[in-house]
């Protein structure tokens, strides 16, 4: 199959889904005819605003790993396909963060930049999320900040970033790379970024650990594919599920690795795994995240409620006669798995498009 | 393929594995010739003691769901294929429990009863585990005991069991069914069953809940398949991993459902999932299990140590040049998943034989 034919097949599949789900059966044939001609002439096609918007929502609905999909219809679309420069895109990202943060009452949104031209590189945002903390390798082998971000932090240095203040929570600049151009660095304005300092409802020493996390998770390195068209820069956000911060970002050994510290402060014996100090520290870290976000008026969902919402979504999808592709290992929360209803459900996974796909880290392939 | 051919293929595969792994290359051809003739004449064959023993150990090694497989070579084999009556089998089960319990220093063992004759029903032990607590449905809809066992408890009543004392921890009798015979009931002698009353190192009220669990988990409803031969009664035990009791048996909503009770006693607000009362209660329930087993000198492993041992097993198997079939969703513990190394590893699953297989619950199919 040549590329053109592949695009045609995908366009056909998506346009038929789109018109069917919207109940607009009459619209399908003329639109498919138009799209067919455009693909024959250019190898791709420009999607209508509504086709784009619906496609992004279905991409969310189709993503097997996301537990938050009950909300799929509520995704706000920022159609930014007309922007032509890295500076303009940077401005749009700033606006995305501001709009989605909404003073703490988080709104789900996606900003969609110009699609990839077939056979050419697409626009890339290097950051895995728009807001991420730097990871610095110290000369003694230890790491300050987010260990997962060490490689990207290093790449940014090579691009000319001077580095931050050297705290464990230095916000990384944004790197935007236009097709066939060098990547460009942009510092985010501090005043648009809401962060939540972490305290604990019972342990007064907790606040003194100086921990915090940002309010808004905006995934910015995935490719959105709709009807054979690839949007390589299409950052999207929902709100956090508490365990993403409390269990994974702060708890994982390969991230902030804070369980030993928290457990020691709690007075637990961290020499004996049998005494479940990791489990106790993990729960209290998550309690701190949930209660701190609540106190600061920032939207967040706990994993029990999220699991229940997902069960609700499952019923919705069954009623709509649609399959529910789901990856059990990602849907089940990393904390207290068996205490959530999703643990006791088995899921079939399958790859449906539209969807979001991982892309190669650009600093590994770029030659500039 | 007719049945005979199927057995031949499986026998060939196992005998070649057996002789290869034992480094006994010369033994393979003559043994295969003998087995070939026996299969041609009878449709099956009688395995040598050592073939049987090694097969049982490999079945354990091959089971994708078991996190305890580092120990696979240490399985003790009780070859009980010569037993002919339900009474004899019952005696052997009592002896199995006694030997494996070993005053608390649990030893892994399997008792293997006569194989299934092709085309005939095999010997069945109805109990999913040799030691299980009854589940009674009360007239008000509530359940006393283990909700998972309600159906079997009910079936046992139909077989003539008078019922136990009506506590939440009444040990079920054993039901043994010989081929083409009616199932028979046997009460286990109380003095061979070690149970651990649960207390908590910090919460003195915990002991007053009157909770306990038995020391020995003996799975008794799975079919052991080795080289085309099926052992439909082949109960096996290891020791408990704490979460099996503290997270699943006592915590699951469909089992003892104790999180609301424990959380209430802890003074937590069980109206608000955001406050993570389930997570806190779950951890303390598991702390109670681990510390109580330790205090009573009964072998038990925590999920952190078990995960680390499994990573060790993974390295062993890689060194031996063998694949490691594993079912991620079963290997990752139900508590604090992401705090264990197995969570961060991806596994390929595949079905290898010898192995243990689920069988239909006999009370659903039996017509007697
Ligand atoms: C509204 C609130 C939302 C919640 C609570 C939520 C929750 C989650 C969680 C917990 C994960 C797993 C993350 C991890 O373990 O790394 C996830 C993954 C994912 N979510 Fe959502 N999500 C939300 C909104 C969204 C939105 C708006 C989109 C896209 C439009 C989305 C798309 C995805 C995708 C593509 C993944 C997989 C990421 C990957 O493969 O690395 N989610 N979500
Ligand atoms: C020595 C200590 C052992 C430990 C700590 C251990 C641990 C576990 C755990 C935690 C599970 C999951 C149970 C569940 O979630 O329901 C499991 C499953 C299993 N284990 Fe082990 N195990 C041990 C010994 C054994 C032995 C001796 C055998 C057989 C010879 C065995 C065979 C199996 C099988 C077949 C399963 C899957 C059961 C099913 O499909 O329902 N294990 N094991």
Per-residue pLDDT tens over the stretch A165-201: 999 999 999 999 999 999 999 999 999 999 999 999 9
Beta bridge partners of A223: A357
Quick check: CB of B239 below 6 Å from ligand 2?
yes
Given an 8 Å threshold on Cβ–Cβ distance, is A338 in contact with B252?
yes
Tokens of A134: 């730097």
Mean pLDDT computed over A116-143: 97
Q: Distance from A61 to chain B by nearest Cα, in Å?
A: 23
Given an 8 Å threshold on Cβ–Cβ distance, is B279 in contact with A336?
yes
Starting from the CA of residue A64, give the closest ligand: 1
CA of A72 to the centre of ligand 1 (A): 11
In the annotation, is A239 catalytic? yes
Which pLDDT belongs to residue A367? 58
Mean pLDDT computed over B361-368: 77
Q: Distance from A217 to chain B by nearest Cα, in Å?
A: 19
Tokens of A67: 């537990």
Per-residue pLDDT tens over the stretch B134-174: 999 999 999 999 999 999 999 999 999 999 999 999 999 99
Q: Distance from A274 to chain B by nearest Cα, in Å?
A: 5
Distance from CA of residue B92 to its chain's centroid? 17
Given an 8 Å threshold on Cβ–Cβ distance, is B294 in contact with A274?
yes
pLDDT band at A366; cut points 50, 70, 90: low
Residue with the smallest CA separation from ligand 2 atom 35 is B356
Is the pLDDT assigned to residue B298 strictly greater than 70?
Answer: yes
Task: Show residues of chain A in contact with B274, CB under 8 Å.
Answer: 290, 294, 302, 305
DSSP E strands in chain B: the ranges are 76-80, 109-113, 124-125, 135-137, 143-145, 174-177, 184-186, 195-197, 212-214, 218-219, 223-226, 229-231, 236-237, 240-241, 300-301, 355-357
Q: Please give the C-alpha separations between residue B364 and each of A22, A270, B185, in angstroms, as whole numbers.
A: 46, 49, 17
Which pLDDT belongs to residue B366? 61
CA-B222 nearest atom, ligand 2:
35
Is the pLDDT assigned to residue A350 strictly greater than 80?
Answer: yes
pLDDT band at B2; cut points 50, 70, 90: confident
Starting from the CA of residue B231, give the closest ligand: 2
Is the pLDDT assigned to residue A368 strictly greater than 80?
Answer: no
Which pLDDT belongs to residue B16? 97
Is the pLDDT assigned to residue B368 strictly greater than 60?
Answer: no
Given an 8 Å threshold on Cβ–Cβ distance, is B344 in contact with A252?
yes
Q: Please give the C-alpha separations between residue B181 and each of A51, A146, B86, B224, B367, in angstroms, as whole numbers.
A: 66, 65, 10, 21, 10
Task: Show residues of chain B in contact with A279, CB under 8 Å.
Answer: 283, 286, 335-336, 339
Given an 8 Å threshold on Cβ–Cβ distance, is B335 in contact with A286?
no
Closest residue on chain B to A257 (Cα): B339
Tokens of B326: 């594993």
Quick check: CB of B356 below 6 Å from ligand 2?
yes
What proportion of chain A, given as a percentage, has pLDDT over 70? Answer: 99
Per-residue pLDDT tens over the stretch A58-85: 999 999 999 999 999 999 999 999 999 9
Given an 8 Å threshold on Cβ–Cβ distance, is A279 in contact with B335?
yes
Per-residue pLDDT tens over the stretch B114-141: 999 999 999 999 999 999 999 999 999 9
Q: Please give the C-alpha separations between residue A152 and each of A12, A222, A362, in angstroms, as whole numbers.
A: 38, 16, 10
Is the pLDDT assigned to residue B367 strictly greater than 80?
Answer: no
State if pTM tops 0.95: yes
Determine the straight-line distance between the first and last CA of chain A, rounded to whole angstroms: 32
Average pLDDT, whole number, for chain A? 97
CA of A217 to the centre of ligand 1 (A): 9
Q: Distance from B316 to chain A by nearest Cα, in Å?
A: 23
Quick check: CB of B110 below 6 Å from ligand 2?
yes
In the annotation, is B66 catalytic? yes
Is the pLDDT assigned to residue A1 strictly greater than 80?
Answer: no
Tokens 């010369």 map to which residue? B26
Q: Could you tell me if the ipTM is greater than 0.90?
A: yes
Task: Supply angle C-alpha A153, A154, A155, rounded to 5.
Answer: 90
**Closest CB from A259, A294, A328 relative to B339:** A259
Task: Show residues of chain A in contact with B278, CB under 8 Å.
Answer: 304, 336, 339
Quick check: CB of B300 below 6 Å from ligand 2?
no
CA of B190 to the centre of ligand 2 (A): 25
The per-residue DSSP string of B269-328 comes to -TT-GGGTHHHHHHHHHHHHHHHHHHHTT--EE-HHHHHHHHHHHHHHHHHTT------H
What proportion of chain B, given as a percentage, has pLDDT over 90? Answer: 98
CA-A109 nearest atom, ligand 1:
27
Exposure of A194 in the CB half-sphere (CA atoms within 13 A): 21
Selected for mutation to probe chain B from A239, A257, A272, A283 (highest B CB count within 10 Å) is: A283
In the annotation, is A205 catalytic? no
Given an 8 Å threshold on Cβ–Cβ distance, is B335 in contact with A338?
yes
Per-residue pLDDT tens over the stretch A12-51: 999 999 999 999 999 999 999 999 999 999 999 999 999 9
CA of A366 to the centre of ligand 2 (A): 48
Quick check: CB of B72 below 6 Å from ligand 2?
no
Given an 8 Å threshold on Cβ–Cβ distance, is B337 in contact with A339?
no
Quick check: CB of B302 below 6 Å from ligand 2?
no
Task: Show residues of chain B in contact with A294, CB under 8 Å.
Answer: 274
Per-residue pLDDT tens over the stretch A251-304: 999 999 999 999 999 999 999 999 999 999 999 999 999 999 999 999 999 999
Tokens 């604990």 map to which residue? A200
pLDDT band at A365; cut points 50, 70, 90: confident
Task: Show residues of chain A in contact with B302, CB under 8 Å.
Answer: 273-274, 276
Residues 6 or more apart whose CB falls under 8 angstroms from that of A127 comprise: A152, A172, A174, A175, A220, A221
Mean pLDDT computed over A342-368: 92
Distance from CA of residue B36 to its chain's centroid? 33
Given an 8 Å threshold on Cβ–Cβ distance, is A273 in contact with B328?
no
What strand order describes the sheet that includes B355-357? B229-231, B223-226, B355-357
Which pLDDT belongs to residue B365? 79
In the annotation, is B187 catalytic? no
Starting from the CA of residue A225, give the closest ligand: 1
Is the pLDDT assigned to residue B69 strictly greater than 90?
Answer: yes
Task: Show residues of chain A in contact with B275, CB under 8 Å.
Answer: 287, 290-291
Task: Show residues of chain B in contact with A286, CB under 8 Å.
Answer: 276, 279
Quick check: CB of B333 below 6 Å from ligand 2?
no
CB atoms within 10 A of CB A314: 19
């Amino acid at each position: 199959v040549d590329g053109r034919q592949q695009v045609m097949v995908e366009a056909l599949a998506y346009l038929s889904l789109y018109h069917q789900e919207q109940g607009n059966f009459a619209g399908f044939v003329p639109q498919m005819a138009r799209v067919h001609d455009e693909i024959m002439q250019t190898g791709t096609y420009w999607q209508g605003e509504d086709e784009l918007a619906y496609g992004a929502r279905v991409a969310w609905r189709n993503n097997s790993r996301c537990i938050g999909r009950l909300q799929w219809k509520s995704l706000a679309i920022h159609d930014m396909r007309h922007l032509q420069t890295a500076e303009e895109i940077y401005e749009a990202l700033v606006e995305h963060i501001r709009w989605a943060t909404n003073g703490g009452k988080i709104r789900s949104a996606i900003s969609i930049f110009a699609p990839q031209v077939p056979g050419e590189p697409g626009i890339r945002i290097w950051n895995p999320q728009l807001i991420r903390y730097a990871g610095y390798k110290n000369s003694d082998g230890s790491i300050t900040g987010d260990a997962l971000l060490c490689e990207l932090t290093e790449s940014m240095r090579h691009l000319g970033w001077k580095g931050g203040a050297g705290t464990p929570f230095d916000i990384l600049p944004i790197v935007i790379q236009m097709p066939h151009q060098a990547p460009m660095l942009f510092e985010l304005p501090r005043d648009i970024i809401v962060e939540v300092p972490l305290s604990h409802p019972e342990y007064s020493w907790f606040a003194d650990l100086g921990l915090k996390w940002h309010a808004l998770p905006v995934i910015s390195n995935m490719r959105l594919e709709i009807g054979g068209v690839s949007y390589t820069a299409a950052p999207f956000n929902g709100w956090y599920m508490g365990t993403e911060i409390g269990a994974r970002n702060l708890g994982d050994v390969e991230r902030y690795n804070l369980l030993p510290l928290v457990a020691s402060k709690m007075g637990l014996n961290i020499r004996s795994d049998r005494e479940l100090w990791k489990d106790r520290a993990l729960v209290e870290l998550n309690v701190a995240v949930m209660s701190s976000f609540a106190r600061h008026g920032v939207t967040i969902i706990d994993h029990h409620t999220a699991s229940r919402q997902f069960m609700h979504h499952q019923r919705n999808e069954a009623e709509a006669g649609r399959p529910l592709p789901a990856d059990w290992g990602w849907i089940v929360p990393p904390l207290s798995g068996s205490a959530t209803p999703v643990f006791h459900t088995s899921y079939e996974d399958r790859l449906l498009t539209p969807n979001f796909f991982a892309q190669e880290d650009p600093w590994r392939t770029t030659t500039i």
